[in-house]
Structure 1
């Protein structure tokens, strides 16, 4: 693991290819705020035997699993990461065997098989620059932590052998700016779009905002309301429940930074 001494502004100014090169060289850190203006993506990789079910799961649950791309079995690159390698260009991965996380490597070359199919899924980090530009604060960036994510009591629509709960990310928003946050993020449907819930975490089955299932807790300032967006960790929660023999995802908050621009996913 390599320590990064660049400032947040320097990291934000890097191109996607430059950031991916640093990950290949050993940089490990959450990716929120890196390569500003470029879309970040979740990653879920399964054997071809389970790929159709996962594709159908995405089709039935587009809010938590909006697909930006699907690679052919054994393929390791695409136009979303030109010249890159899906096996090395994410800062940290999670490897699941029979639904159980067994490793968190920074390189999955040793786990790679020619029957593995990669799904690249939209990520809400993509609309965070738009939130900041719109004057809506992003607490986990300001506090220097990973975004908090929670399993909910809401069930996704199952598909074949794949089933699981909706996972959400949470960002506290000043009460006076919740409508702005909804308006801004609704223009990015390919990366989760508008929130799925505002306030009252108990209505989602979340007992304690200070104890996220993934990521880090975030302090909620006075006058702020918890706002919840569908999260691309949802397919990993489904993998843990459905228990395919092998699956690989990104470590929560450690995303694939793509060559697509945030603006590519903005709708009028």
Structure 2
């Protein structure tokens, strides 16, 4: 398995001398991580746990939730002849922190561009910025993760100091979340407070030549980072009202729907601890 990925990576990187494009690069590898995030400082015993998938092209990557990954790779059900489609009330999904905000991260190394696609209510937005520049300090220490020899590095990003382990034999400059810029794929990352962890789970070769790095879902509306922060604040403050304003005047009233056990957790005092401080 290890040799397979080595050969794959070398063939992929050697390729041609044509400049890599920013969009629609074929996906070569899919890496699954377990995100463990202490998102509530008032409840450190119950961190958020979520699987995330990093899909890698030659010089680009796509970081989405495993739930989203499975959804886009599962064919829609075929309705029976004569079947009726019922549409319920619009809902805002809630967890203990408030309304669920689904963010997808796309990085394009050739042009040094990062695209964040986020969903607020019933609309999608695109925020385009430069890739974060992290001043990594590498060490000689190594360890094995998933059958790959990884090297240690530390760096500061988003108000946190991360210790990461990257695999030089997998020559991709990407990693989970917004962590990137090392001479090898980041397979594990943990912040110094042990509040944010990205743990390697598995890695698989992409076998479908039609799978490419591209924005998932409908075309998002492009906004600035400042506009996004303003919209996100309004959405978090009153998600039902925010989403209702996106709908027509005759639309049904927006309701809340809680994720598993989130309604119970919401009764406790929540001290928000975002990944980026």
TM-score, normalised to structure 2's length? 0.23
Larger relative CO (CA 8 A, sep 6+): 1 or 2?
1
TM-score, normalised to structure 1's length? 0.24
Would you tell me which structure has more strand in proportion to its own residues? 2
